[in-house]
Amino acid sequence: MWADQSEVIPEVVILRLPLYARTLAVLAYEGRELVSSQELGERLHVTPAQIRKDLSYFGRFGKQGRGYNVRRLLQELRQILGLDREWVMALIGVGRLGRAILGYSGFAPEGFRVSAAFDLDAGEVGKRIGPLVVQHVNELAEAVQRLGIRIGIVAVPASAAQRVVDILVNAGVRAILNYAPADLRVPSDVLVREIDPVTALQSLTYYLKLQPTEQLVPLQMLSAPGLFRTEP
């Protein structure tokens, strides 16, 4: 059913798919059997045509005049996104941010498991955080092979980020979630997603400064910038 994967799918389309899946999961929880592209669009502040175009990259899922089967479409999107299996992850950096990430309960239900934690500071090595014992980053390459780690989460200071990323890449990790405020250099086959709260806040203040303080900025303008433009 899926489209030919040799076709280049715009990245912005891939970024929208988890939002569609999240909304469908809510609808399934509500007991809904069917949903139209019109209703999905209203919930996500996107046109029905954009939803249909995004989904068309992967096949035909709905019936005209009837809409989409909620559970079936959710299952298809989870398979497309690779969420029908477990992904093993490693966390590098067990400071305050790293410990908060380890304590986050939202990973496991979606198939993401942090199976190892590492740090550069010898003073942190050997400490137990929940079920994990912190290892030195020098042990990372061996752990990647032994545990089948596919994703690295980087939560170290900016000055150490490139060193840590180089170790991950050399160990064979090709997907990295980066919390460090640093511009990373990686090979073209390595995927990096940046999470930087400061730059996110700076983009918010751009909109805030344009309006009187008593006037609210439209939520859809700020919730997912760029994800719902009409062209992929």
| Topology (CATH level 3) of domain 87-197 | Rossmann fold (3.40.50)
Q: How does pLDDT run across 73-120, given as a tens digit for each residue? A: 999 999 999 999 999 999 999 999 999 999 999 999 999 999 999 999
209 — pLDDT class (breaks 50, 70, 90): confident
Percent of the chain with pLDDT over 90: 78
> In the chain, what are the domain boundaries?
11-80, 87-197
Q: How many CB atoms lie within 10 A of CB 206?
A: 10
Q: How does pLDDT run across 148-206, given as a tens digit for each residue? A: 999 999 999 999 999 999 999 999 999 999 999 999 999 999 999 999 989 989 999 99
Q: How does pLDDT run across 9-29, given as a tens digit for each residue? A: 999 999 999 999 999 999 999
Q: Among 11, 14, 35, which residue's Cα sits nearest to residue 25?
A: 35
Q: How does pLDDT run across 37-63, given as a tens digit for each residue? A: 999 999 999 999 999 999 999 988 867
Residue labelled with tokens 């929940």: 130
Q: How far is the C-alpha of 50 from the C-alpha of 37, rounded, in Å?
A: 9
Residue labelled with tokens 């809904």: 32
| Topology (CATH level 3) of domain 11-80 | Arc Repressor Mutant, subunit A (1.10.10)
Q: Return the DSSP state at 175.
A: E
Q: How many CB atoms lie within 10 A of CB 153?
A: 24
Number of C-alpha atoms within 13 angstroms, CB side, residue 231? 0
